[in-house]
Structure 1
Amino acid sequence: MNSRRQFIKKTLVGAAAATAVSQAIAVPGSRKGVKPIVISTWDFGVAANKAAWEVLKDNGRSLDAVEQGVKVAEADLSNPTVGKGGYPDRDGHVTLDACIMDELGNCGSVAALEHIAHPISVARLVMEKTPHVMLVGEGALQFAMENGFERENLLIPSSEKAWQEWLKEKKYKPIMNIENKSFNTERLPGNQYNHDTIGMLALDAAGNLSGACTTSGMAFKMRGRVGDSPIIGAGLYIDNEVGGATSTGVGEEVIRTVGSFLVVELMRQGYSPEAACKEAVARIVKKKPDTAREIQVGFLALNKKGEYGSYALQSGFTYAVCDAQKQDLVIKGKHIF
């Protein structure tokens, strides 16, 4: 009798263990109670979010959503801060930076990439096809072309004209919030520079987070300059247990605080997305109070529950939100100064 009971007990335990394993390795199409959402920096995030939503609404993967979303900004020739049409460096070269990160902690990045219109897709291939995280410069271009990307001229006439105007005085003077159309209705004068990126975070129906970040970097920058956008932990960070964060603005200050990683770790400690972003911005102020008053840096965060928030140094920062209820919501971010 005892042996029979022991046999039944072992059988039940084994069945339970097998069920647990099968559930652990299953890839569900959706998870009950999870509502897909995508958020991104600046007003131009609205169009990008709509492309991402086309993936999310059909139970698509958040990684696919963020790639498709930011490609819209990369292809927008009216946007001088991202992709083709972005302002060049001081020598007239358009160099692009991008990174992407999925729910498993996989990530890929490219920096100082020339002649390729969609660096975000190259970054994804770095993640999926190589043992590396980042490729830069000529190596990144070689890799892109070996994988079927077409080489093209990224310096469009309007950006070249702005560069030629800048060459007359060669002054660096930051203009904050150029990406916010309500603050700037014309392209920059030649003696000023812009700074920005599109950072996007998405939560899919399976409850998984991914993020993407892409930019043409600081206009008229020194040849070879790379900001925070392609650096995992600075311009973007995802932890699928906690949430994700991305940044915008002058990348040097974001790098110094490892900003996006900091925001995610603060959320791990119990901070709300907004509170975590505010604390990250406060760290920048604490380190360099004088510099902080002259530049713009903003953080955007999304946690595992689908809650989101942002904070910036200066007023004028906006971000776009898209879910099943609203596809074109633009929110003004809070600020310290």
Structure 2
Amino acid sequence: MSWGMIATWRMAHDGVTQASEALSNNGQAGDAIETTIRTVEDYPYYKSVGFGGLPNAEGILEMDAAFMDGDTFKIGAVAGITDTKNPISVARKLSDEKFNSFRVGDGATKYAMLNGFERKNMLTQRAHRIWEKRVEEIAKSNLSPYDGHDTIGAISLDTNGSMAAGTSSSGLFMKKPGRVGDSPLSGSGFYVDSEIGGATATGLGEDLMKGCLAYEIVRQMGEGKTPQEACDQAVYTFHDTLTKRYGKAGAFSLVAMNNTGQWGVATNVEFTFSVANDQEKPAIYLANMGENHQTIIEPITQEWLDAYEKRIKAPID
């Protein structure tokens, strides 16, 4: 049996690389998801996930995460959790609960605390300064406060044929307290069925929730489409429909993998992702929306990577 791993954004690559090594040595799909996402949650320069994530309008960092087992359909999720080191681990633990498996706000935070998950102030000085600057800009220039909503979403396949999916996000920068996007919602932010495949999403949650695209991609793969065909069909059809009926479509990107390790991607913005399977080493690619509802996918350049590293670590005035 083949194995595979795919995840959203450049920020996932180190985690994908680490998880891929385990999967190639008969590691479990669920462990691969947790490893990949925890790596992103722990890195302070990724400002849309975990430690270093950007806070809400009141300066409080609220985080969302979800985990799904493709063998059993068990799902665990948290939304608006605070001061907890790895929300993905809490979500995975919750997936073992028959009842109360999706916790929000204080309920999620208390569950994490009572179950021994590490407590940590996840708001870094860097993230707080970025928040302060945005508050100043809003007051001076009447700018829109909203900026950034890059979820880490991942799909894994292990050599036993089991699949899993997971997401983690600090959500929309400057969101109103209590706002929740698509990331912890089954069918919108993620979906996986080990007999078919899985998909995860990143982008503007308010628009992604209108389409339930993660489930739709899995459904189309179940009807025989390749992951790429399913992504192109689901994402671009919905992009056009939403633009026509709602007036506009926010940014959204989805990645998918089927139960043989084939993968696919579709996006309506410039989008990076990381992928590996038993046929290809971990690699980062750049995707864009092409003509005729087909995605253009290219290998990332070293120049792009260098600029990315410089940008995310640039000093904050």
TM-score by length of 1: 0.80
Partner residue in 1 for 2:300: none
Gaps of 5+ in 1: 1-33, 174-190
Provide Cα deviations, 1:37-83, integer angstroms capped at 9, x if missing partner: 11111111210102212331221110111111110000010000110
Provide Cα deviations, 1:181-238, integer angstroms capped at 9, x if missing partner: xxxxxxxxxx551111111111100111111111111111111110000111110000
Provide Cα deviations, 1:93-148, integer angstroms capped at 9, x if missing partner: 10110001112211100000000020000001111145233100000011000011
Q: Tell me whether 1:76 sits opposite 2:30 in the alignment.
A: no
Provide Cα deviations, 1:234-283, integer angstroms capped at 9, x if missing partner: 10000111110000111111111111011111111222211211222221
Q: Within 5 Å, which residues of 2 pair with 1:135-214?
A: 135-170=103-138, 173=144, 193-214=147-168
Within 2, Cα distance between the matches of 1:109 and 1:313?
27
Q: 1:94 aligns with which of 61, 64, 81?
A: 61
Query: Are the structure 2 counterparts of residues 246 and 120 from structure 1 closer, same or farther at C-alpha, using a change threshold of 3 Å?
Result: same
Gaps of 5+ in 2: 292-317
The ranges of structure 1 where at least 4 consecutive aligned residues each deviate by more than 4 angstroms after the TM superposition are: none
Q: 1:110 aligns with which of 67, 70, 78?
A: 78
- Report if aligned partners of 1:253, 1:284 keep a CA contact under 8 Å in 2: no
Within 2, Cα distance between the matches of 1:169 and 1:332?
31
SS at 1:256 equivalent: coil
Partner residue in 2 for 1:272: 226
Q: 2:96 aligns with which of 128, 131, 136?
A: 128
Within 2, Cα distance between the matches of 1:299 and 1:334?
12
Give % identity. Answer: 33
Q: 2:179 aligns with which of 221, 225, 248?
A: 225
Partner residue in 2 for 1:258: 212
Question: Which structure dedicates a bigger proportion of its chain to strand?
Answer: 2
TM-score by length of 2: 0.85
Q: Tell me whether 1:65 sits opposite 2:32 in the alignment.
A: yes
- Report if aligned partners of 1:87, 1:163 keep a CA contact under 8 Å in 2: yes
Within 2, Cα distance between the matches of 1:172 and 1:329?
37
Within 2, Cα distance between the matches of 1:243 and 1:211?
10
Shift of residue 324 of structure 1? 4.1
Task: Name the amino acid aligned to 1:291.
Answer: K
- Report if aligned partners of 1:46, 1:327 keep a CA contact under 8 Å in 2: no
Within 2, Cα distance between the matches of 1:55 and 1:146?
30
